Structure formats: structure tokens, C-alpha cells
Chains A and B, each alone.
Chain A
Amino acid sequence: MRVMVIVKATNDSEDGKMPTPDLLEQMGAFNQQLKDAGILVEADGLRPSAKGARVAFSGQNRSVTKGPFPNVHDLVAGYWIWKVHDLNEAIEWVKRCPNPMPGPSVIEIRPLYEMEDFDRSK
């Protein structure tokens, strides 16, 4: 199964603080391990929400709000897509990840829908 592994934003990431060279190196090594294990599909980082926007849908209305957005915990700072056997394998890999932030942080693991899931609904 594929999982989306989401690095939740913190005040540091929302402030646009770039990772230290030390963290970049540790993350590079972790990503290489993911690659070697055949798990890594994709990895990317998001700029602070100040560079983003939201569109709210309600009936026929579409309201646009430009960032930054409050509630840092609502936000994504980065993500991977991994191919794993099950949720527990993903959890074990996340536990081996260097802390992606200078302070406390949270990484969320979310299974993705696969084509078969949609075929079944037809």
C-alpha cells in the first residue's frame, strides 16, 4: 500500500526557517535508506503558508483567502509518498526519521486510496 507521510508545520517552518546543513545531511541519509529499501516514491517540501492561498467552496460560491494561515497545526510543511506493506512498517520507518524540525514536531501517516478502491464503488 502507499502512504502519505506528512510533516506537520511548526512555527519554525512557518517562519521560513530553512533546515540546517546538519539536518539536510541526516535527511539525505534517511531518504537514501528509504530508497535502498524500495520504499521511497516521492518527497517534497512546502513553502510557508504565507506563499499560499485557500479557496472555500460553499454551494456555488468560491471565496479566496491568501496566506499566511493561523493554526500552525493545521498546516503541512512537507511530505513523502512511501510504498509499504502495512501501517506498522511505515510507523517503524518514521520512528527512524531524524526530527524534521528544530523543536518538537509531528509526522502523520495516512494510507492513500488505490485504483482498486474506486473500481469497487462502481
Chain B
Amino acid sequence: MRVMVIVKATEDSEAGGMPPAELLADMGAFNQALIDAGLFVDAGGVKETRKGARVAFSGKDRTVAKGPFPNINELAAGYWIWRVKDLDEAIEWVKRCPNPMPGPSVIEIREMFEMGDFDEAK
């Protein structure tokens, strides 16, 4: 199965700016371990919300709001897509990840739908 592994935003990530060189090196090594294990599908970093926007849908209305957005815990700062056997394998790998933030942080693991799931809905 595929999982989306989401690095939740913190005040540090929302402030923008780059991770320190040491963290970049640690993350590079972790990503290499994911690649070597055949888990790695994709990864991306998400810029701070002041560079983003939201569109709210309600009936026929579409309301646009430009960032920054409050409630930092709602937000994503980065993600991977991994191919794993099960949720527990993903959890074990996340525990080996360097802390992606200078302070406390959370990484969320979410199982992805596969094409077959939508066929069933038809």
C-alpha cells in the first residue's frame, strides 16, 4: 500500500527559511535509506502559507483567501509518498526519521486510496 507521510507545520516552518545544513544532510541520508529500501516514491517541501491561498466551496460560491493562515497545526510543511507493507512499517520508518523541525514536531501517516477503491464505488 502507499502512504502519504505528512510533516506538520510549526512556527519555524511557517516563518520560512531553509533548514540548517546539518538537518539537510541528515534528511538526505534518511531519504537515501528509504530509496535503498525501495519505499521511496516521492517527496516534496511545502512553502509557508503566506505564499499560498485557499478556495472555500459552498453551493455555487467560491471564496478566495490568500495566506498566511492561522492554526499552524492544520498545515502541511512537507510530505513523502512511500510504498510499504502496512501502517506499522511506515511508523517504524518515521521513528527513524530525523526530527524535521528545530523544536517538537509531528509527522502524520495516511493511507492512500488506490485505483481499485474507486472502481468499487461505481
Chain A positions within 8 Å of B, measured between CB atoms, are: 2-4, 6, 18-19, 21, 24, 42, 44-47, 49, 51-59, 62, 64, 69, 71, 73-74, 76, 79, 81, 87, 90-91, 94-95, 97, 99-101, 104-113, 117-118, 120-122
Contact = CB atoms under 8 A, between A and B. Distances in A.
Contacts, number: 159
A37 B70 CA distance: 33
Given A55-B107, A118-B18, A105 B118 contact: no
B109 interface: yes
A51 B46 contact: no
Interface string B45-85: 11101011111111100101000010101101001010000
Interface in B81-96: 81, 87, 90-91, 94-95
A112 B46 contact: yes
